[in-house]
Amino acid sequence: MKVTTDSKCRMCTETDETMNHLVAGCQKLAATEYLERHNKVAAALHLEICRHYGIPTAEQHPWLHRPETVNETDRVKILWDFEVRTDKVITARRPDIIVVDKQEKTAKIIDVAIPLDKNIRGKEAEKTQKYQDLKLEIQKLWDVKAKVIPIVIGALGAVSTSLERHLQRAPGEHDMRKLMKQAILGSAHILRRVLDLPGSGRFYRSKPGSGVTVNNAAMSQFGKFESVSMKQMQALFQTNFFGTARITQEIVTHMKKRKSGHIIFVSLILGLRPLPFADFYVATKFALEGLVGSLAPVLRCFNISVTSVEPGPVNTSMADNLEINGQGLSPLQHAESSSSEDETDALLKTFLEKYFPVFLSHEESKLLVAEVIKDCIYQANPPVRIQPGDSIRKLAREILIDHTGNKNTDDLSEIKASCIKPIFGTPTGGGQTAPRCCKGTVPPTGGQHSTSFFRLRREAS
């Protein structure tokens, strides 16, 4: 991240300067930048709790909300960063929020943490254990039933499967995606401030005047098609497609004025080759690929590059947190517990036992994907599509004749010309009939993939 050859963090000078270190591991940033990010997420929770109980606040936007130490009505008392006096000597007496509902005689002890994505589960357990003594003291002194609610979000936006359940226990209607957004924006703010320190060198110095945007928001889905709720469908498309598209709309406006820029979408090979039982997740990736393919030729006329990075499965916490359509079961747990009486369940069970582990065995390193993105940023003429790793690139070649997407973009980006090359080509044999004016080859139909999956039916029976 630095122009110098020194790999150590410019803030603490003790550890290598990696993104993980800067967003959650640098002691020099703990009392300032990390605390500010933490307080923003906690303040968003506090604001929603105040709304739930009808308590007026000076600001309605979570980013601007400044919690008061005590908010109290006849119904509720809300404590913010308040040190509780106890008869017993205990060290952890100052959680982020305590909500005492006087009518229900309950106390909710809410504490927030934003660790590295890989430490989410451990931090949840740590927070729960940390406030057990305070919970017992509050129950004894205040004559209420108390609960500890850990709210843990990864510094890069990852969450555990239990976060939604914890949020449901907190008073109010909490939007998990908005809290994730607060954490991610906080991390982005930290990176921007650290990397823009005077004399430290700019990350994009090799491309003066241009802007680079990397879209990498995603949530997953897996399970039977008919068991996916409308709420799940909407959440998937809102996060994986509509949110990304909306941000890109804002960015494109500025890039067109500058006549330069590079927009990178982190997609997945599943946007080219579908995966059974991930129907709506795959649909969002196909939508993203369609957006990239349609947008690239137009933006090229403004000297703006568009790239879709299409890795295979990546070694991140998303695979660990994958549930069967929100049922609270991991794929392997579902395979162990499901019966074979239902024909679709039998197919799913066979897929999870025989195919899913093979799919995950091809996981790629996060560092490899990051390196590919970095290299793509510095390329003079970046491709429309790029696949990290030889095996995924080979698979893309099998699916697409033009696995880079460059030919299609070249053909279509001559919008200002009097005649644009035909969009669809003429098959060289074994394909569909195309208009006589077209030249080229029709892309593969994808039938081989459907045929190979059909074997599941025989194996499950």
Would you please indicate which residues are annotated as catalytic (active-site) residues?
281
Q: Any idea which residue has 């809300």 for tokens?
A: 78
Find the distance separating the first CA and the last CA of the chain, reported in whole Å: 54
13, 10, 35, 8: which is closest to 24 by C-alpha? 35
In terms of C-beta distances under 8 Å and separation of at least 24 residues, what long-range contacts does 453-457 make, across chains too?
453/276, 456/276, 456/347, 456/350, 456/351, 456/355, 457/347
d(CA 73, CA 53): 9
Segment holding 307, helix H or strand E? strand 304-309
- Per DSSP bridges, beta strands 212-215 and 106-113 are unpaired
SS3 of residue 78 by DSSP:
strand
d(CA 183, CA 162): 17
Spatial contact of 401 and 337, defined as CB atoms under 8 Å apart: no
Cα torsion 54, 60, 62, 67: sign: negative
Q: Is 157 left (phi over 0), alpha (psi -120 to 50) or beta?
A: left
Segment holding 108, helix H or strand E? strand 106-113
Please state, as a whole number, how many other Cβ atoms lie within 10 Å of the Cβ of residue 396. Answer: 21
d(CA 400, CA 410): 16
Spatial contact of 96 and 81, defined as CB atoms under 8 Å apart: yes
